[in-house]
Amino acid sequence: MTSAPISTAARMLPLRLPKVCVALAADNPSDMVSKAEALVRDNPLLEFRLDYIPQPASALPKIKRFLETHPSAVLIGTCRRAVNGGKFRGSVASQLEILSKAASAGCQLVDFELQSAEDAKRGTVERLRSKAAVILSYHDFRSTKKLDDVLQRMLPYGADFLKIVTTATSLSDNVTLMKFLERTSDKHSMVGLCMGEQGIISRVLGIRAGSVFTFASVSPGEETAPGQVTARELRDIYRVDHVDAATRVYGVAGDPVSHSLSPLIMNAAFRRENVNGVYLALHAKSLDDLLACVRDIPIHGLSVTMPFKQSILKHLDNTDAHTAKMGACNTVVRAQDGKLYGFNTDTAGVVRPLEQRITIEGAKILVIGAGGAARAAVFGLKERGAEVYIMNRTPAPAQSLARSARARYVRRPDLRKHKFDVIINATPVGMGNSKESPLKPEELECKVLFEMIYSPVETKLVATARAKGIQIIPGLEMFVHQAARQFEIWTGKPAPLEEMHRILTTAAQASPRKTVQLDL
Ligand code: NAP
């Protein structure tokens, strides 16, 4: 098999292609073209997934008309066979016929699977290339491996673009794919990414690694591949058009993190403050996997969440005294020398909103709960000179926390003997659809109520406090302040607090309650 001479137009094509290709799927030609009409202004590179249409050829006249009215659009015609992960049940010969007609209708590129090429007659790819640029594609729906073997199978066909899409089952699979792109993209026009929730790194950073473009979906629910994000998210949140060699990579690492709102507010903060950074949700199933990525990508900063807040500590080169005392780290920064430093900004999430309202020194503060969030509050407030009391459903952890922080333990029946300046709810009581409250109305005697729960915003405890005229600090404010402190540690700049708060509040109100996740 020899490759046909490459025309100048084909050689120039990778240079003038937009970086994001939106994959269009619909079960009839009219809907598909309507979607294209709605998208083409902002997204001139569109993939028509003809295999989603029961009679794929029926879409071609509409595609032709679409191109006549949108001459600057660049279209990829794809008719993926079911055996290769698509929906087309016809033979390779009929697939070729459709792709050839798609090229005649004006599609400048057609996607042809490697497996189809291997089944087809000699010279098939060359013939197809005489009509349109050919993307020779390979999809692995299970893993990321043997990339060089796949490349060797592809090379003899002399296609214009070599597309290798795999599945990330770990964060490190993204590194494997991106290193492969870095090695191969100076010789070939590569398109590569990892599918799956863990593939987000390669979807955002793949272009920097050498992928000519990447794929995006039209809207949530219209994905043509697992883990695909929308074109709007890629552009507006992750700013893929601006990711370059100098862009620093940050992320929230945990399990789970898929519904995290952190990428939304952190990327907005980077944009607002002109920080050349991008922030990703890193679904890490193991600490080893996460740490390998921090080293290899490299990642410059992490928000650390469940279940790694304690276990990451022994892998850090240093932590500040406060974090060491707390025994939990929620923020990692990678210094210029590659060393990892740990901090805990949960405390800032409690202290900063409070100090905007009261003088913490000498204030009498009740913390309900003795878990991680309570711990951050108790240590932070003690350091600021508050008189801290702890109450908890189970006495032992509260007594132990009181001892280690030099705070006081209080039993619930004794609450009425006290008048507090502030009461902090650091339990999940009242979260979600629960109508419970950790305190009875007559037990809620204070000037300020700090409700750590953020969903719903109006818990039963908050409603009771409001009715009693008590000032309220909502859970979202805590989250924004701890995130703002992370931003400051990473960038050395003041965080755009108001912007972060506005974006978070809007997103939290817009998201269905169950899918909102903050990284605590
Ligand atoms: P955690 O480590 O699991 O601790 C939970 C605490 O709540 C424990 O002291 C537990 O008492 C108590 N508790 C649990 N269920 C209870 C119940 N039904 N009745 C009475 N007490 C109960 O959790 P965490 O990480 O500290 O988080 C606590 C809350 O704070 C959560 O709602 C979380 O969403 C919120 N939070 C918010 C932010 C923010 O940014 N807004 C940040 C961190 C946490 P036992 O010892 O008796 O089990």
> For residue range 212-236, what is the model confidence (pLDDT) as tens digits?
999 999 999 999 999 999 999 999 9
Beginning with the edge strand found earlier in the chain, give each strand of the sheet holding 448-451 in spatial order: 408-409, 387-391, 364-368, 422-425, 448-451, 471-473
pLDDT at 513 over 50: no
* Total-model pTM: 0.90
- 396 in contact with ligand 1, CB cutoff 6 A: no
Report which residue type is found at 470: I
pLDDT band at 11 (very low <50, low <70, confident <90, very high): low
Q: What are phi and psi of 38, to 5 degrees?
A: -70, -25
Average pLDDT (78-88) is: 97
**CA gyration radius for the chain?**
27
pLDDT band at 3 (very low <50, low <70, confident <90, very high): very low
pLDDT at 10: 60
pLDDT at 512 over 60: no
If you measure from the C-alpha of residue 452 to the centroid of ligand 1, how many angstroms do you get, rounded to a whole number? 9
Average pLDDT (89-112) is: 97
- Nearest ligand 1 atom to alpha carbon 455: 34
> What is the percentage of the chain residues whose pLDDT exceeds 70?
95
pLDDT at 434: 86
Average pLDDT (124-148) is: 97
pLDDT at 2: 41
pLDDT at 515: 43
- Please confirm, yes or no, whether 309 is among the known catalytic residues: yes
If you measure from the C-alpha of residue 368 to the centroid of ligand 1, how many angstroms do you get, rounded to a whole number? 9
- 347 in contact with ligand 1, CB cutoff 6 A: no
pLDDT at 1 over 60: no
- 307 in contact with ligand 1, CB cutoff 6 A: no
- 475 in contact with ligand 1, CB cutoff 6 A: yes
pLDDT at 256: 87
pLDDT band at 12 (very low <50, low <70, confident <90, very high): low
pLDDT at 448 over 50: yes
d(CA 116, CA 114): 5
pLDDT at 15: 64
pLDDT at 8 over 70: no
Select which of 35, 145, 309, 435 is catalytic.
Answer: 309
Average pLDDT (170-185) is: 98
Quick count: other Cβ atoms within 10 Å of Cβ 293?
24
- Alpha-carbon dihedral sign for residues 103, 105, 108, 114: negative
Q: Of the given ranges (61-65, 333-337, 420-424), which has the lowest mean pLDDT?
A: 333-337
Average pLDDT, the chain: 94
pLDDT at 149 over 90: yes
Average pLDDT (262-278) is: 97
If you measure from the C-alpha of residue 429 to the centroid of ligand 1, how many angstroms do you get, rounded to a whole number? 8
d(CA 492, CA 515): 32
Report which residue type is found at 447: K
Average pLDDT (421-440) is: 94
pLDDT at 508: 80
pLDDT band at 517 (very low <50, low <70, confident <90, very high): low
Of the candidates 281, 284, 254, the residue with the CA atom closest to the CA atom of residue 170: 284
d(CA 467, CA 463): 6
